[in-house]
Structure formats: structure tokens, C-alpha cells
Structure 1
Amino acid sequence: MMHYLLDLVRFVWIILAYSMVPSVVRGIASTATPNVIFAMADDLGWGDVEYNNGSAFTPSLNEMARSDNAILLQRHYSGSPVCSPTRATLLTGRNHNRYCVWNSNNAGGSLKDFIRPQKMPLPLSEITVAEVMRNAGYSTAFFGKWHLGDFKPLRRRGNNTLSHPGLHGFEQWWATGRSAPTATTNCGCFQNSTCILGHYTDRPMCTNYYTNTSDGIVGWPQPIPGDDSHFIWSLAEKYIREQVNLQKPFFLYLPFHSVHKPYIATDQYREIYLKAKMKYTSKEADYYGAISAMDEALGKLRNLLQELGIKNNTLFWFTSDNGPLKPRSTNGLRGRKSSLYEGGVRVPGIIEWPDVISSNRVSQFPVVSSDLLPTVQDILGVKPSDDRPIDGISILPFLQGKENKRNQPIFSAFKLKKRRVFQEQYRVSITTDKYKLMETVRNNTVQYELFDLEKDARESSNLINDYPDITSQLIEQIEQWKESVRQSIKKIGCNIL
């Protein structure tokens, strides 16, 4: 009898102790601590993907877009019409001009890594979504294209451009500093490499993956054959399995190189297009083949979440960093990469989160990449910092089906120049639920365009003379935002004023 009572007491204590352990540690889904995956393509056009009548075969993205627990975001915007600035906005929730990431970091045309510094690094004073999540007990990882600063302390003209993922909250990271071939990624870094594809006659530039170790910055030690998207997927798979075994929530950021130049596809994906009924050129087979390789990697990622039993409690967000270089890839939207017209900033977007999204939706709700950080803070109950303006908003109420209007505009500004902020030549846009106003300045001459995006997504009709009151209201908001950006620049002290 005494043994029975002791066993009963022991059993009760075990149950009580177990009930006190947070559900996320026990491996049970908790919407308060979801895993978050942010996957981003490079230069992928709104009209490239198959579900938007594009020419690329994207069965995995098609399936994700149709999922019962996903929202297809038909007005998803990039934080900028070019690369580095968008990457900055999604990490910080703030417009990139506030801290002087004016444009893409151009490392020069060299075939070798670490030759010229990236002149617009992400300042270490910025608070990133990775830092927020790490402070909340998450594991954080980054695999892919960084493009926000150098991995080694390069000094030119007195500038220190050191700014790698490890300095911005990522515990694990393998990153390239800039664009890389979409297949045979780092083969150009190895003198006698045999993994350069036969149909690609030019020797690829040397862009390797690097990480920070106790021995300093080290590169991937050997050539990486095959499609780069699948290499990124292999890093992601290993990391996710590790975190599930550790029963730890994670934030995983996967910025793919596809489909930025130089785009190369392996024969497996080129053949899809070269053998298709519709005629594709060899160059098109590389372009669309690289997209299909990335699509398959995304499909494997979704399947892995299902296999490990964590799909329901994982917020999976997919988008692109800006519009395409190819005009045809916008599916009729005006403009392309480097333009603030829709073709340059309206990009593919899907969010899947079974624990929160209960039915499939196709939405015209405007979402922008800078919404990631405030959304994560809202999910985690983290109070936003009150010492800096945040341009993004939490879209958690929208994901939960509680809101169908954004009610806060999206601002974008491009081609600002050092020491000439909002002077001489630049563009600013304000995008609301319905309207978009574009301010174009050339030689200090101002021109305005107003578009009704609900009726005219292709921005073919300038309504500036039809709605003077709306125009005046939007101009006033632009001027207020510009002054806010000026104040941010003064505060950050990036030596431009």
C-alpha cells in the first residue's frame, strides 16, 4: 500500500511539473511563440510566378497560394525597388532612407570577394527582428544573400563597413555578401573547379558563403555544385531539424539568390523549358529554370514542416525583394526594378500559418516587407522601441481576419543622394488602400501623379486634376514623412548633412 501511495505521489508531481513547462518547450503548438520563416526571392517579378499567369512553372508556390491556411497577397510591396534597401527595411521595420541605405550596395564588378567595401552597411544601432526574437528566447538563423555590409573590416577613405548577420542578431549564419550565380554558386572562387556548368561559358564571379567562427571569418571550403536554392535548402533543413530536436522556437530568414543575374539553371530545370511545347530560348531556360529550382526548394521546406509536426505553428512568409529586371515579368504592371511604379515594388507574396489563418484568402490588403518586425513584436507581446519611428505596421489583426483595411500608408523614396536629401532629383510615393501618389523631382522641378490602384493597377491614368482634395491630403502626408526622415538621418549621424 505504501509503495502504491509513493508511486501515486510521484505521478502527481510529474504531472504538475510537466504542466508548468511552457507548451513550446514540450513541442506542443503555441500561437504565442510560433516559428517564423521569411523566405525571399531576388528580382522575382509579380508576373513571373505561375499563379499570376507567369511563364515559370511554380507548382510549390501554386500549392502554397491555394492552401486552406494561406493568404495570397496580391498587393504585397517590397520596401524599395532595389535590393539592399528592401533587405534593410524588412529587418528593421523602418524605411531604409532613415539610416542612409540609399541604394544597392555595389561591391564593384570584381570577380573576387572582399575587394571593395559595401558603402551603405546596415548601422549596428538599428534594432532588427532577429535581435527582438533572440531576446525573446528564439534561435535565429540566416542562410543566403546578405548585401548589407562587409564580413571583414575593410577600410577605404576612413569608412568601416563591417556589418554581417552575426552583428544583427543571427546566431547561425552562412551568407554571401552580394549576388551570386543561381547555380554553381561559389565555383568561381576555386581555381581548378570542375563544377562550372558547360553551357555557361563565362567564368562566374567569386561569391562564396561565409560565417563567423572563433578563428575569424571563414568561407565554404569547397565548390558547391548544383542549384544554389537547393544548397540554401540543405542548410535550412539541417537547422530546422536541430531546433525541433532541441524543442526551441526559431526565426529563419532565407534570402535566395534566384533570380538575380547571373541566373544559371542546372540541366534538370533547364530541360523543363527546353522540352516544353512553348518555345524558350537557352537564356529563358536558365531564368525560369532558376525560379523552378527555388520553387522546389520551397516545396521541400513546406513538406519538412509537415513531417516534423510544426507546420501549424509556423508563420511562413514568402515574397521578393523588388520587381524584375525583365519588363515582361511584371504581367503588365508599369515599371520594373528601380522604379516606384507598381512593376518595381509590387511583388509576389504569400503567408501561410495554419494556427491563425483558418481559410484561404486572396487579398488586396496592402502589405510591405517592413511589416515583419512590428508583426513579430505584436505576436510576442514585445513593446516597440519608442526612440525611433517605425514605418511598418503589425498585420496580425489582418492575418486573424479582424481587419480588411490597412488604414496607414506605405511610403517609399528612391534615389536620395548623400548631402542632397530630398533635393535635386528623387522620387517619393505614398500608397494607401485605394490611391497612390507619386512625387517626382528633377532639377528641383516637382511633378505629381495620382493613381486609383483599385481600378487601375497598371497606373495608366493620372488623376491628379480630377481629385484635388485627395491630392492635397496625400502631398501633406508626404511632406510630413519627409521631415520625419530628415530628423532620423540627423539622429543616426551618417555624416551626410
Structure 2
Amino acid sequence: MNTLNVMTQRLLIRTLFILFGVWATTVTTVADTLPNMIFIMTDDQGWGDVSYNGHPKIKTPNLDAMAASGIRFDRFYATASVCSPTRASCLTGRNNWRMNISNPMRADEGHLPQEEITIAEALKAKGYATGHFGKWHVGGFDAETAGSHVMPPWEAGFDECFSTHNVIVTHDPYAKLGKGGIKACYWHNGRNIPLDEGQNDPSLRGDDAAIVMTKAVDFIREQAAAEKPFLALVWFHNVHTPLGKNTELMKQYADCDPKEQVYFSNITAVDTQVGVLRAELRELGVADSTMVWFTSDNGPNLKGKKDVKLAAAQGGKFAYTPLGSSGAFRGWKRDCYEGGLRMPGILEWPAGITRPFATEFAAVTSDYFPTALDAAGIPLPTDRQYDGISLLPLIEGLETERKSPIGFHCNGMQAWTENRYKIVRTIKAKKKSSAQWELYDLIADPFEENSLAPKHPEIVQRMSGDFAKWAESAQADQQKVIAQHYLLGSTPLRKRDVESNNSPRRLRADANP
């Protein structure tokens, strides 16, 4: 499909939403009825990396307060155990497999397909102002670095963008690093803020979490003054490496190991900004009418063989740390065991939550899109399959148990979870066959210590059959994406450019080989 056709198709999608939005806003008064929506996401923060889940050292008083005053999801899942797939699901309500995104993507390796309808596009058509702040990682920002895989937030429905394609140093990101240093960092509404400008702008120095939140708060203030409903995605870079050293926050952990001081203070940096946001919403008088969601994109990065290293070549400023916690859950980032998928999950929304509560309801990041549309009175499009569900019935106290299973496919692993049982397997990349399914009772054995597969083959057979039907649907959508956006060139693909099911990840069909 050539670029003109893709642009025409995306324009048609947006037009349909705009037409619907015009019709919908004639029925109700937008500013009086529509909730504002803020989706906060951290990077590589595990289930156990918050004090409300029992961490003995990490201090997260603001997240603790959110969890106590809203809904605390004790079984909230990322759609995948790695970055890009989860972010794609947040934006679209669809599983990453359908979009051919099953691994973290370099800028030139893949992108969110243009045919997807994003949460920003859907809400924008209903009159929302939309903003993205922080890490993006579902498409490149410019053709020079991304080739044909350009899909920045400002082309995905977001009006205001202060974004980065991927990770950056989490403190003073414009500092000169010499070898391995950065040439650019943040982009603002399609403009790359270069190194020299960033170094000379005081507002872009210091703590990255504070920089990102300041930009988000400026956007929120503007919309509150205009009495316009808003959507803000605040996607922090913390606690993905490289981690900067915020010496002021590190003082809170003076009695901890130096490695812990860096990691824990980076989580507290996020928590501090959550406090800034909550206070600002109260000051603006919009706290009651604002949904504030919080989660992480995947489990903690504990698989690195190296211990913490202070990068001497970089002046000892940055620490690379594998110190995250998935609590007692098995696994970490890149796993489809609970430790890689189960995240901290919170919703604070005073106008919509009559009483605070904790729940074991199985929710997932692909639920964001259907929930947001439901809250805004927008029906889901009927021309595609959605994997997420609206959580409004749970929020309103009408449901206590999920009715539809959740499927996972990422980084060489697959899983299928119901309310009680879960099957999980590792795909053997070097063989056509796959490992046998393991079976766990997540109520009796949430830490996945004892597989019940040998004792209950009938459960495995039933669940794997359901997974196979879902996988067939997901792969059918994936093949459409491959046909439209990817091709096999004359040069053999690298191993990392090929999915576990041998689908190409490298080139768009309309790209120059």
C-alpha cells in the first residue's frame, strides 16, 4: 500500500470519528459530562516496586494515597512483558499480536500501523484536547532514523506532544556524555530539541520525571481554563536504564546500598510527580471529574547478568541497575509468568468511584481504550476485533469477575488466563514445535510454583483450544499488517527482525528496499 493510500485511509477514519463526535455532542453538553482522563505509565517498574504492595524500602506515599482513595487493582496486567507491545495495546485496545508488535522496537524496525484507531483520535472526535508526554516507542519520529517506520504521537491524534521515541537518561538528560552521548532528546510537536538548546534551557535540566510532568501540567492547566475535557498520556522513562542520579532524592535512602539509592530514588521521583499532579488537579477544581490511571509497561528488568555499574566513561553519573521487584511473583521482564505481566494498577476518580476498594478482577492495559470510550459515550468501532473490555461495570459495582479470558503473545512466550486458571508456554525459536503448556491455579497458586498440567490435561486441552481460536484471529489481523506494511527484501533478515512465527518485521511494502 503506498503512502498516499495509507494517508487517505487514515483521513477517512478520522473523518468518521469527527462526524460521530459532532452528532454525539449535540446530545449532551461536553464539558459538563465528560470525564478528563490521565493515563500514567512507568517503564520497567515491577509489581513490588511500590510501598503499598509491601516493599520494605521504597517510598511511594502519593501512589499509596491514590490506591487508598480509588480502586487498587491487585491483578492488573500489562498486555506484554516488554515495552512496545504494551504501549500499542494502551493506545488501541487491541492485542499487540494483531499489530505485528511482539518485541521492543528500534525506530527502524516497526511502528503502530496507520490503520489503527488510537484512543487520542477517538476522544478528539468527541471534543477532547489530547496530549502525550514522555516515552512513545511505537514508531519513529523522522524518516532519517526510522526510514518507513515513522509514526510519532502527533500523527496519532495527539494535539500537544512533548515526547521521546525511546529511553533517555532519567536525570539531566541533556548532559554531555561524550562517547555514547545523546545528540537530541525531547521532541515538541514534531520539532527535535537539539543538544545545545537543551543544555541552555533551564526548564530541560534536572529530573526528567519533573520535566515531563511540568509539560503535562501546563497542558492540563490550559484545558481546565478553557473548560475543555482532556486526555493526557504521561509515560515516564523511569525506571528503565540508564538511570540518572538525583542526589536530593537519594538522601531519602541514605541508609541503603548505593545501588539501591539510585534505583529507589528513581521510583520516588515518579511518585513525587504523581503528588504534583494530584495537587494541581485539586487546585484547578477538576480532581473529582478526572480519571487518573497508573500502571507500568512490564515487569522489572532482573535478567541482566551484570550487577550495577557506575559508568566510569561517563563520569560516574549514571547507574545501570537490575534492582526491581516483582514481589513474590515468578518471573520478570520478558516473561509471560506473573512477574513479567502483573503490574501495579490504580484508578482514582472521585466522581465515578463511590467507595474505594481493592479488587482481584483481572484487568489489562488493552482495557484502557474500551473503558475510555465507554466513559465518553462513544461506542467501539465494529470493523475490527477488540481484546480489551470496558471496566465501567466493575467501577460501578455491577461486575466482580472478568467474563473474557486474556491472551498474551510476546518475546517468545504465550499465555492464556481465565479468572482461575492460566496456561503458559515458551516457544522454542530453533524448533517448529513449542514447549508443552504449563497450567497454574492462580487462586491457590498465584506464584506459579506447581504446574497442574499433568493432573488436569482436560483443562489444558480446553484452554489451549480457546487460545488457538484467539491466536487464529490475532494472526489473521497480523498478516493483514504484514501484507500492507512489511516485505521480505533480497537481503536475508536478521534473527531479531523475524517473529517467532517467522513473520517479517523489517520493511514496509511501500518502502524503498
Q: Name the TM-score class by shorter chain.
A: 0.7 to 0.9
CA distance in 2, matches of 1:393, 1:340: 21
Of 444, 453, 459, the match for 1:470: 459
Aligned to 1:114: none
Aligned to 1:325: 301
Gaps of 5+ in 2: 1-25, 303-322, 487-502, 505-513
Aligned to 1:300: 276
Aligned to 2:60: 58
Shift of 1:462: 0.2
Of 253, 267, 274, the match for 1:291: 267
**How high is the TM-score relative to the length of structure 2?**
0.81
Q: Does 1:145 align with 2:135?
A: yes
Deviations 1:61-115 (CA, angstroms, capped at 9, x unpaired) = 1111111xx0100101001100111111110111112111121013xxxxxxxxx
Shift of 1:439: 2.8
Deviations 1:430-467 (CA, angstroms, capped at 9, x unpaired) = 11111111133322143110111112111001011222
CA distance in 1, matches of 2:475, 2:27: 48
What SS does structure 2 have at the residue aligned with 1:38?
strand
Aligned to 1:268: 248
CA distance in 1, matches of 2:394, 2:118: 22
Of 409, 425, 447, the match for 1:458: 447
Shift of 1:325: 0.9
RMSD: 2.0
Indicate if the aligned counterparts of 2:183 and 2:194 stay in contact, CA closer than 8 A: no
Deviations 1:10-38 (CA, angstroms, capped at 9, x unpaired) = xxxxxxxxxx996554xx5x2xx100000
Aligned to 1:112: none
Aligned to 2:330: 334
Gap change, CA 1:209 and 1:328, over 3 Å in 2: closer
Indicate if the aligned counterparts of 1:187 and 1:206 stay in contact, CA closer than 8 A: no
Of 343, 346, 353, the match for 2:349: 353
Aligned to 1:419: none
Indicate if the aligned counterparts of 2:45 and 2:324 stay in contact, CA closer than 8 A: no
CA distance in 2, matches of 1:66, 1:349: 12
Aligned to 2:49: 48
Indicate if the aligned counterparts of 1:154 and 1:162 stay in contact, CA closer than 8 A: no
Q: Does 1:407 align with 2:409?
A: no
Shift of 1:208: 0.6
Indicate if the aligned counterparts of 1:120 and 1:161 stay in contact, CA closer than 8 A: yes
CA distance in 1, matches of 2:351, 2:324: 37
Aligned to 1:209: 186
Aligned to 2:414: 428
What are the equivalent positions in structure 2 for 1:389-408 lying under 5 Å apart?
389-408=385-404
What SS does structure 2 have at the residue aligned with 1:229?
helix
Aligned to 1:485: 474
Aligned to 2:215: 235
Aligned to 1:226: 206
Shift of 1:265: 3.1
Indicate if the aligned counterparts of 2:88 and 2:138 stay in contact, CA closer than 8 A: yes
CA distance in 1, matches of 2:268, 2:183: 24
CA distance in 2, matches of 1:168, 1:491: 20
**How high is the TM-score relative to the length of structure 1?**
0.83
Shift of 1:427: 2.0
CA distance in 2, matches of 1:445, 1:367: 27
How many residues get paired?
432
Aligned to 1:9: none
Aligned to 1:196: none
Gap change, CA 1:206 and 1:219, over 3 Å in 2: closer
Shift of 1:123: 1.3
Deviations 1:188-241 (CA, angstroms, capped at 9, x unpaired) = 48x7xxxxxxxxxx875445100235xx55558323322111111111111111
CA distance in 2, matches of 1:179, 1:430: 30
Identical positions, percent: 36
CA distance in 2, matches of 1:155, 1:62: 40
Q: Does 1:376 align with 2:372?
A: yes
**Which amino acid in the other structure matches residue 463 of structure 1?**
L
CA distance in 1, matches of 2:467, 2:176: 46
What SS does structure 2 have at the residue aligned with 1:447?
coil
Indicate if the aligned counterparts of 1:61 and 1:295 stay in contact, CA closer than 8 A: yes
What SS does structure 2 have at the residue aligned with 1:362?
strand
Deviations 1:341-400 (CA, angstroms, capped at 9, x unpaired) = 000010111001111111111110011001011111212222222222111111110111
Q: Does 1:92 align with 2:131?
A: no
Of 228, 247, 251, the match for 1:248: 228
What are the equivalent positions in structure 2 for 1:193-208 lying under 5 Å apart?
205-206=182-183, 208=185
CA distance in 2, matches of 1:467, 1:386: 37
Indicate if the aligned counterparts of 1:45 and 1:322 stay in contact, CA closer than 8 A: yes
Indicate if the aligned counterparts of 2:184 and 2:194 stay in contact, CA closer than 8 A: no
CA distance in 2, matches of 1:465, 1:368: 29
CA distance in 2, matches of 1:247, 1:325: 41
CA distance in 2, matches of 1:335, 1:207: 34
Of 338, 344, 360, the match for 2:340: 344
CA distance in 1, matches of 2:164, 2:327: 30
**Which amino acid in the other structure matches residue 427 of structure 1?**
M
Shift of 1:178: 0.6
Shift of 1:186: 2.6
Aligned to 1:37: 38
Shift of 1:60: 0.5
What SS does structure 1 have at the residue aligned with 2:439?
strand
**Which amino acid in the other structure matches residue 179 of structure 1?**
V
Indicate if the aligned counterparts of 1:72 and 1:363 stay in contact, CA closer than 8 A: yes
Gaps of 5+ in 1: 1-19, 107-116, 192-201, 416-425
